[in-house]
Amino acid sequence: MLNAINEEIVYVNGQPQRLIIFLHGYIDSADYLEGKLQNFIKVFDNTAIHLPQAPICCEVLEDKRQWYSMHRFDPDDERKTVPTMAECVEIYNKMTLGLEESFSYLNDYIDACLNAYQLEDKDLFLCGFSQGAMLAIYTALMRDKKIGGCVSFSGIMAGHKFLSCHAQSSPDMLLIHGDADNLVRFEALDFTKKELEKLGSHVETYTVKGGQHRISPEGLEVAADFIMKHNLCKQKIA
């Protein structure tokens, strides 16, 4: 299959009763993400945590990966510099085709993982950073059945016009964003929250004060609490 996911990093703690799939960002890799998540991974008992590697070599750095091309839809990176949020949103709307192509192979991967552990969509939590967060949100909304929850780090609801018409479910969401993010602007948090709520999702948000475009330890603590709350687990990050 074209662009099938065939590389991953997997942690299995106990007998899996939940599945967490965490998607890395653009110009990124599963290996780099793994280094950021060590304390997060240790939190969860009876959990399988998968860090899939995007199957597409990055257009910027060949030794990194991307879920889909950003330059195909925004060749001059104008999403970072346009003056208004409305203009920024329109650029992200152009990425719908890239998201749909990525969803087609990620969705198959998710099904295979759930089947391997004999789990259901309600046991699945999708997390992602940056481009991975955009794909996580898109996938969570487009799955036929409602998943346990979705966590976005420094993301945005890309392709929102398409999703407003075609979303299949409305899972609970947690949006985490730094207020000093210079790559995916902080206003994306409020925009994404409003759009998700229109679709019926319950949305929680967390602002990382002074946070830039990265996964922060405090953000991971909030994400772990969100997942445990939704899965009735009471452990905390050490």
Alpha helices in the chain (DSSP H): 30-36, 38-43, 85-93, 96-117, 131-142, 160-166, 187-198, 217-230
DSSP 74: -
In the numeric block, which tokens belong to residue 208? 């990382």
User: pLDDT tens, 30-75?
Assistant: 999 999 999 999 999 999 999 999 999 999 999 999 999 999 999 9
Half-sphere exposure of 60 (CA within 13 A, CB side): 16
- Given a cut of 50, is residue 26 above it in pLDDT? yes
User: pLDDT tens, 173-201?
Assistant: 999 999 999 999 999 999 999 999 999 99
- Given a cut of 50, is residue 233 above it in pLDDT? no
Mean pLDDT for the stretch of residues 166-178: 97
48, β-bridge pairs: 12, 19
pLDDT of residue 3: 77
Count CB neighbours of 14 within 10 A.
10
Mean pLDDT for the stretch of residues 74-98: 97
Integer Cα distance of 23 and 79 in angstroms: 21
pLDDT of residue 2: 63
Q: In what order do the strands lie in the sheet with 149-153?
A: 8-13, 47-52, 18-23, 124-129, 149-153, 173-178, 203-208
- Given a cut of 90, is residue 160 above it in pLDDT? yes
Integer Cα distance of 26 and 131 in angstroms: 5
Residue type at position 119? L
Class in CATH terms, 8-230: alpha beta
Mean pLDDT for the stretch of residues 114-119: 97
pLDDT of residue 236: 38
Mean pLDDT for the stretch of residues 138-161: 97
205, β-bridge pairs: 175
Q: What is the 3-state secondary structure (H, E, C) of 128-188?
A: EECHHHHHHHHHHHHCCCCCCEEEEECCCCCCHHHHHHHCCCCCCEEEEEECCCCCCCCHH
pTM over 0.85: yes
3-state secondary structure of 10: strand
State the burial class of residue 232 (Cβ atoms within 10 Å of its Cβ: 0-12, 13-18, 19+): exposed
